[in-house]
A and B are shown apart, each in its own frame.
Chain A
Amino acid sequence: MAAKIKIPERKLQELKDICKSFNNEKGELINVLHKAQSSFGYLPAEVQEVIAQELNVSVAHVFGVVSFYTFFTMKPKGEFPISVCLGTACYVRGAEKVLEEFKKHLKIQVGETTADGKFSISCLRCVGACGLAPVVMVGDKVYGRVAPEGVKDILAEYNG
Chain B
Amino acid sequence: MDIVKLTIDNKPLEVEKGTTVLKAARKAKIEIPTLCYFELDGMKIENKPGGCRVCVVEIAGRRNLAPACTTVCTEGMVVKTHSIRALNARRTVVELMLSDHPFDCLICAKSGNCELQTLAHKLGIREIHYQGAKSTYRKDTSPAIIRDIDKCILCRRCEMMCNDVQSVGALSGIYRGFNAVVAPAFEMNLEKSTCTYCGQCVSVCPTGALTEVDHSRNVINSLADPTKIVVVQTAPAVRAALGEEFGMEPGSLVTGKMVAALRRLGFNYVFDTDFAADLTIMEEGTELLDRLGKFLKGDKSVKLPILTSCCPGWVNFFEANFPEMRDIPSTAKSPQQMFGAIAKNYFAKKIGVDRKNMVVVSVMPCLAKKYECAREEFSVNGDPDVNYSISTRELADLIKLANIDFNSLPEEDFDRPLGESTGASVIFGTTGGVIEAAVRTAYEIHTGKTLNKVDFTELRGLENIRQASIDFNGVSINIGIAHGLGNARKLLEDIRAGKSKFHAIEIMACPGGCIGGGGQPYHHGNFEILKKRAAALYQEDAEKPLRKSHENPYIKQLYEEFLGKPMSEISHHLLHTHYFDKSAEIVVNE
Contact = CB atoms under 8 A, between A and B. Distances in A.
Given A48-B185, A68-B175, A60 B586 contact: no
A58 B582 CA distance: 15
B184 interface: yes
Given A1-B582, A57-B169, A58-B194, A63 B174 contact: yes
B351 interface: no
A50 B586 contact: yes
B560 interface: no
A75 B586 CA distance: 21
Interface in B128-177: 163, 168-176
Given A45-B186, A57-B169, A2 B174 contact: no
In the complex, which of the residues B185, B319, B590 has the most CB atoms of chain A within 10 Å of its own CB atom? B185
B20 interface: no
B170 A5 contact: no
B587 interface: yes
Contacts of B580: 2
Contacts of A132: none
B84 interface: no
- Category for how many chain A residues contact B: 20 to 34
A3 B582 CA distance: 8
B584 to A, nearest CB: 5
Nearest to A44: B186
A88 interface: no
A69 to B, nearest CB: 8
Interface in A1-56: 1-9, 12, 45, 48-50, 53
B589 interface: yes
B176 A68 contact: yes
A53 B584 contact: yes
Contacts of B184: 60
B588 interface: yes
Interface string B549-590: 000000000000000000000000000000011111111111
A49 B584 contact: yes
B588 A63 contact: no
Given A1-B192, A59-B185, A67 B176 contact: yes
Contact of A60 (B193, B320, B588): B193
B193 to A, nearest CB: 7
Interface string A95-138: 00000000000000000000000000000000000000000000
A68 B192 CA distance: 22
B368 to A, nearest CB: 12
Interface residues of B, number: 33
Contacts of A7: 586-589
B589 A64 contact: no
A4 to B, nearest CB: 5
Contacts of A82: none
Given A63-B174, A63-B185, A58 B163 contact: yes
B455 interface: no
A6 B192 contact: no
A62 interface: yes
A60 B195 CA distance: 11
A60 B172 contact: yes
Contacts of B193: 1, 3, 60
Interface string B309-349: 00000001001100000000000000000000000000000
A7 B582 CA distance: 19
A12 B588 contact: yes
Nearest to A15: B586
B413 interface: no
B585 A5 contact: yes
A5 B585 CA distance: 6
A61 interface: yes
A11 to B, nearest CB: 9
B191 interface: yes
Contact of A1 (B183, B319, B588): B319
Contact of A58 (B169, B176, B586): B169
Interface string B174-202: 11100000011110000111110000000
A6 B587 contact: yes
A5 B583 CA distance: 11
A33 to B, nearest CB: 14
Nearest to B197: A1
A2 B585 contact: yes
Contacts of B171: 60
A8 B588 CA distance: 5
B186 A63 contact: yes
A107 B135 CA distance: 27
Contacts of B590: 8-9
A38 to B, nearest CB: 21
Contact of A2 (B163, B170, B582): B582
Given A1-B582, A7-B589, A49-B584, A60 B176 contact: no
B589 A67 contact: no
B588 A9 contact: yes
29 contacts: A1-B582, A2-B581, A2-B585, A5-B584, A5-B587, A6-B588, A7-B588, A8-B588, A8-B589, A8-B590, A12-B586, A12-B588, A48-B186, A53-B584, A53-B586, A57-B169, A58-B163, A59-B169, A60-B170, A61-B169, A61-B172, A63-B185, A63-B186, A64-B173, A64-B174, A64-B185, A67-B176, A68-B174, A68-B176
Interface of B: 163, 168-176, 183-186, 191-195, 316, 319-320, 580-590
List the 8 shortest-distance A-B pairs measured between CB atoms, nearest first: A58-B169, A64-B172, A60-B172, A63-B185, A59-B185, A1-B582, A60-B185, A2-B582
Given A7-B586, A8-B588, A67-B176, 20 more contacts: A1-B193, A1-B194, A2-B580, A2-B581, A4-B585, A6-B587, A7-B588, A7-B589, A12-B586, A12-B588, A45-B186, A53-B586, A58-B185, A60-B169, A60-B183, A61-B169, A62-B185, A64-B173, A68-B174, A68-B175
